[in-house]
Chain A
Amino acid sequence: MPRISAAEVREIATLARLRLDDAEVERMTHELDAILGYIETVRNLDTGSALPMTHAVPFDCPMRPDDPKPPLSVDEALQNAPRREGSFFQVPRMVPVSGEAGPNSGGEG
């Protein structure tokens, strides 16, 4: 029985906000099934009373003094923005404005 279906790959891609075409979904379903099959080996291992290891070295998240440092300027922070307006990153409209046709009407502004 396959460990992952094309429908699941599509659902996960939606969760990950990652558009895949049909050929990608098909290929990836096949490849992920093989990879998950290989991964089965660890799922059956008895790890006894081991504690989860989230980091390679034990560390306490250290606190630093809350001293302000010079920040990037607005222009530096926005220099790579694909679209900006004034001191803001610009994105398509998220909420339709009442009286307009719908969520698509904002478009790329």
Chain B
Amino acid sequence: MSGPDVRGASIAALAEGVRSRRWKSRDLVEAYLDRIARLDKAVGSYLLVDAPGARGHADKVDAAVAAGQDVGPLGGVPIALKDIFVTRGIETTCGSKILRGFIPPYEGTPSGRLAAAGAVNLGKLNMDEFAMGSSNENSSRGPVRNPWALDRVPGGSSGGSAAAVAASLCAGSLGTDTGGSIRQPAALCGVAGMKPTYGRVSRYGVIAFASSLDHPGPFGRTVEDVAALMEVIAGHDPLDSTSIPAPVGRYREAVGAGIAGLRVGVPDEYFQAGMDPEIEASVRQALEVLAKAGAQISRVSLPHTQYAVATYYLVCTAEAASNLARYDGVRFGHRTPQAASLDELYSRTRGEGFGSEPKRRIILGTFVLRAGYYDAYYGKALLVRRKIADDFSAAFSACDVLVTPTSPVPAFRLGERMADPLQMYLADIYTVAPALAGVPAMSQCCGFTKAGLPIGLQIIGPPLGEEAVFRAAGAYQNATDWHTRLPDDLPMTAPR
């Protein structure tokens, strides 16, 4: 039997092929491993390829299929995980030197649920260190390159998760979104990705960056694939006290449900003078597509939008400074070889192990939490965060979803923004407000620039409104063919 062509394949098609014995899961794994071997030198999306583990799991799925057993909704489908997901027995580094060699003794909930649904894990994907970044250039193991243009970034922090799906190096993947880290790379790589409602997907076994903002979520080539992954990973988890005990929606059904009468709001603040004209044109065209499909489009206002990036950096750095205190060289990870005292052990280990972005955020976060500064910075940010969330509540009293661009710019060149952290932070200008409000939001491809770079459309729903988001995203995808375009496989050699 000749191997299946997995380039551009959807999760639904691959799962169906395994169930109907058209191909074996093992053949799919070998096809992806072959692509990774040929193409990932140029892209750099994988930090670790677990070929023996993937082969072993695939063989088990194939044996179960042969025995007539139910192999689960994702049975035999090869996926991959951002290296922030704790995987039992498989090195998990969070893109950081400080966690090199860390072999978790337990499995996190999102990756465990994927495995229980039959998905086969190919390996761990590159990311900005501790999920801090918007370009994947903050990885301690080198950047990821955008499969659409290898001299450009894939976005971040889940850059490996987006690039691997775009280049067909896995069928789907998981990432995390704290201020835009699923949606922005999805936009820059031309794939679909969802940040669910805060608490919809468990954070158990997801390495913490900013606990009140960390949202695990899926990437897929299509909206249906994202919905299929969401149906598996969403749901209450007693191991995460912030997990929401609400039933999981029928997301795949919602994708095909249509949008007759759906009320779509367009926030004025996301279409300001000076925005990239190609991006504005594509998003305006997308609104016309939605209108033609039956949506009612109206303007809305989210008046505190301009404060979102600053508020985000106050909240996330404060939480990061607290969360990153655990990396001290005592229980796991890097430990300095030279320390005469416990204090020196801590400070040298952390100075050697963290890269410059985590260091910057630890210092900023410690500063804003300091006695005497707390009320002026962190305390104030919590009040403004409330105003930003109230903006969304007001908008959703008159709308079912909101539609905006995902990123103010298409994929930028490697190195272009690294010299100025503030410019990098502003790459998240359209994604941080939904993160602060905790509302679900999705990015999907809505066109390409003249230079051939993908453009992302963001659809935002009310809390636990994932189904409305999937309805709108599905209706848009059904009326367009952007999601069927693939980056060229060749020449996939890294520029010098």
Residues of A within 8 A of B (CB): 4, 8-9, 12-21, 24, 28, 31-32, 34-36, 38-39, 41-43, 45, 47, 50-57, 59, 61-62, 64, 72, 76-77, 79-83, 89, 91-94, 103-104, 107-108
Q: Which residues of chain B come closer than 8 Å to A76, judged between CB atoms?
A: 105
Quick check: B386 and A51 within 8 Å, CB to CB?
yes
Which of B340, B370, B379 has the most C-beta atoms of chain A within 10 angstroms of its own C-beta?
B340
Quick check: A57 and B363 within 8 Å, CB to CB?
no
Quick check: A104 and B341 within 8 Å, CB to CB?
yes
Quick check: A107 and B340 within 8 Å, CB to CB?
yes
| Closest partner residue, chain A, to B343 (CB atom) | A17
B366 within 8 A of A: yes
**Taking the nearest CB of chain A, how far is it from the CB of B325, in angstroms?**
8
Instruction: Say whether, besides A16-B363, A57-B463, A52 and B383 are in contact (CB < 8 Å).
Output: yes
Quick check: A104 and B314 within 8 Å, CB to CB?
no
B310 within 8 A of A: yes
A92 to B203, CA, bound (A): 33
Residues 191-212 of B at the A interface (beta carbon under 8 Å): 197-199, 212
Q: Which residues of chain B come closer than 8 Å to A8, judged between CB atoms?
A: 367
Quick check: B333 and A80 within 8 Å, CB to CB?
yes
Quick check: A28 and B360 within 8 Å, CB to CB?
yes
Stretch at the interface among B3-11, B118-126, B238-246: B238-246
A27 to B62, CA, bound (A): 55
Q: Which residues of chain A come closer than 8 Å to B384, judged between CB atoms?
A: 42, 45, 47, 50
Quick check: A64 and B238 within 8 Å, CB to CB?
yes
Residues 418-432 of B at the A interface (beta carbon under 8 Å): 420-422, 425
Using C-beta atoms within 8 Å of the partner chain, give the interface range for chain B. Answer: 35 or more
Q: Which residues of chain B come closer than 8 Å to A61, judged between CB atoms?
A: 241
A8 to B265, CA, bound (A): 45
B332 within 8 A of A: yes
Q: Is the interface of B mostly helix, strand, loop or mixed?
A: helix
| Closest partner residue, chain B, to A9 (CB atom) | B363
Quick check: B359 and A24 within 8 Å, CB to CB?
yes
Instruction: Say whether, besides A38-B422, A39-B310, A89-B331, A80 and B386 are in contact (CB < 8 Å).
Output: no
Q: Which residues of chain A come closer than 8 Å to B309, judged between CB atoms?
A: 38
Which of A20, A39, A56, A79 has the most C-beta atoms of chain B within 10 angstroms of its own C-beta?
A56
Q: Which residues of chain A come closer than 8 Å to B376, judged between CB atoms?
A: 43
A8 to B386, CA, bound (A): 30
Quick check: B340 and A104 within 8 Å, CB to CB?
yes
B66 within 8 A of A: no
A66 to B346, CA, bound (A): 34
A20 to B425, CA, bound (A): 23
Which of B309, B383, B390, B425 has the most C-beta atoms of chain A within 10 angstroms of its own C-beta?
B383
Quick check: A42 and B342 within 8 Å, CB to CB?
no
Quick check: A18 and B360 within 8 Å, CB to CB?
no
B97 within 8 A of A: no
A54 to B198, CA, bound (A): 13
Quick check: B363 and A42 within 8 Å, CB to CB?
no
**Taking the nearest CB of chain B, how far is it from the CB of A80, in angstroms?**
4
| Closest partner residue, chain A, to B346 (CB atom) | A17
Q: Which residues of chain B come closer than 8 Å to A31, judged between CB atoms?
A: 360, 421-422
Q: Which residues of chain B come closer than 8 Å to A18, judged between CB atoms?
A: 347, 350-351, 354, 359, 362-363
B307 within 8 A of A: yes
Quick check: A94 and B342 within 8 Å, CB to CB?
yes
Quick check: B212 and A16 within 8 Å, CB to CB?
no
